């Protein structure tokens, strides 16, 4: 029983350590380029589910392109 537990614990420990290193790098890493003064503080990501929407998609993309956000 302990061999099975060890076989499961080792891969989980490796994955956990990997994710911890990534989180630390994300928190303490430097940006490649400093933010410009005119860069807005809030950013948005628009996700468009498009399954069989070929008739509406061009109008939607044009509308998104016309958004005026600094």
Tens digit of each residue's pLDDT (9 = 90 or more) over 11-47? 999 999 999 999 988 888 776 766 666 766 777 788 8
CA-nearest of 67, 19, 22, 23 to 45 is: 67
Q: Tokens 């498009």 appear where?
A: 50
Look at the alpha carbons of 10, 15, 19, 25 in this order and tell me if their dihedral is positive or negative: positive
- What are the structural domain ranges in the chain? 2-30+42-65
Indicate whether this model's pTM tops 0.75.
Answer: no
Residue range 53-64: average pLDDT?
Answer: 85
Cβ-based neighbour number of residue 67 at 10 Å? 8
> Residue 3 CB: number of other CB atoms within 10 A?
7
What CA–CA distance (Å, rounded) separates 16 from 60? 41
């Amino acid at each position: 029983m302990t061999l099975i537990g060890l076989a499961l614990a080792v891969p989980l420990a490796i994955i956990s350590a990997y994710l911890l290193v990534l989180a630390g790098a994300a928190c303490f890493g430097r940006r490649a380029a400093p933010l410009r003064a005119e860069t807005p503080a809030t950013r948005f990501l628009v996700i468009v589910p498009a399954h069989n929407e070929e008739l509406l998609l061009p109008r939607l993309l044009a509308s998104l392109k016309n958004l005026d956000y600094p």
